[in-house]
Amino acid sequence: MIKFENVSKKFGEVATLDKVNFELKPGEFVFIIGPSGAGKTTLVKLILKDYLPTAGTIKIGRINLEEIPKRKIPDYRRKIGVVFQDFKLLPDRTVFENIALALRIFGEKETEIIPKVTEVLGLVGLGERADFFPAQLSAGELQRTCLARAIIGSPEIVLADEPTGNLDLGTARQIVKLLKKINEMGKTIIMTTHNFEIVNQMKERVIELDKGKLISDQKKGKYHFK
């Protein structure tokens, strides 16, 4: 489903990713781990086509990302759900409106937006917070809103860039459980993190990066950080 072939990304002379190779199957849950500066966010941005690789090819299904013309990038991005560490919610819109925004961008009919958002709000446990503004929510609730927005368009892939970075361990576990629940619905989840407790607990596939290089790719249940 997602294939990185010798992918490198350089900013000037500094390589943030260096000849990275891996392949993900549909419906997989994979953690991308590594210290700060390892290249985790670069990898996410490459999948989002926010960055272009300096070398190598990235394929999503049969599509080579390099071949997607600029005007088609929005269409491509609509097929990917994204969760950000800093939530990226619009502060002047309610939880409902933030989630509905993704559907409005897709041009979904207003009559279909209400039931879809209500359903997703129920899934992430925010039914009671629909009319709250981001400033009135806890960090966990903000991340759940972000998660709801990411999955509202039924994407095949969900990218979660350090979704637990701003959360305490208990809340982080809740978010990862939610991601697992979404994964069980058949979605491919790519989650970057440096929260090893969660990685150990989930026992999913783990790709480890360091200084832009892929240093290990452990299959489901094989990785354990000591």
Partner 1 sequence: MIKQMMKQHLKTTWTHIRRAPYQALAATLIMVLTFFVATIFVLTAAGSQAILNWFETRPQVTAFFEDKVTMEQVDILRAKLAQTGKIKEAKYVSKEEALAIYREQNKNDPLLLEMVTANILPASLEVSTTNISYLGEIAQILRQESGVEEVIFQEDVVRSLHEWTNVLRKVGVGLIATLGGVSLLIILVIIGMKVALRREEIEILQLLGGTNWYIRAPFIFEGIFYGVVGAILAWGISYLLLLYSTPFLVGFLAGIPILPVPFLFMLALLGAEILVGALIGTLGSLIAVRRYLK
The stretch among 6-14, 70-78, 131-139, 177-185 that binds partner 1 (CB under 8 A) is 70-78
Answer left, alpha or beta for residue 212, where phi above 0 means left and psi between -120 and 50 means alpha. left
Question: In the bound complex, what is the minimum distance in angstroms from residue 153's beta carbon to partner 1?
Answer: 8
- Compute the distance between CA of residue 13 and CA of residue 207 in angstroms, rounded to an integer: 25
By beta-carbon proximity to partner 1, the closer residue of 95 and 202 is 95
Hey, what are 137's tokens? 């929510």
- Judged by CB under 8 A, the residue of 66, 106, 216, 222 near partner 1 is 106
Q: Please give the size of the binding site for partner 1, defined by CB under 8 A.
A: 23
- Please check whether residue 206 is in contact with residue 30, taking contact to mean a CB–CB distance below 8 angstroms: yes
Interface with partner 1, residue 104, by CB under 8 A: yes
Interface with partner 1, residue 116, by CB under 8 A: no
By beta-carbon proximity to partner 1, the closer residue of 48 and 139 is 48
- Amino acid at position 20, single letter: V
- Judged by CB under 8 A, the residue of 12, 36, 69, 107 near partner 1 is 107
- Compute the distance between CA of residue 214 and CA of residue 211 in angstroms, rounded to an integer: 9
Interface with partner 1, residue 102, by CB under 8 A: yes
Applying the rule CB under 8 A, the residues between 150 and 169 that interact with partner 1 are 153
Longest CA span, the chain: 51
- If DSSP codes are grouped into helix, strand and coil, which group holds residue 64? strand
Hey, what are 101's tokens? 């925004």
**Exposure string over 15-39, b if 16+ CB within 10 A, otherwise e:** bbbbebebebeeebbbbbbbeeebb
- Please check whether residue 80 is in contact with residue 46, taking contact to mean a CB–CB distance below 8 angstroms: no
- Judged by CB under 8 A, the residue of 23, 35, 61, 90 near partner 1 is 90
Interface with partner 1, residue 92, by CB under 8 A: yes
- Judged by CB under 8 A, the residue of 1, 55, 68, 101 near partner 1 is 101
Residue ranges binding partner 1 (CB under 8 A): 48, 50, 71, 74-78, 82, 88-90, 92, 101-102, 104-107, 109-110, 149, 153
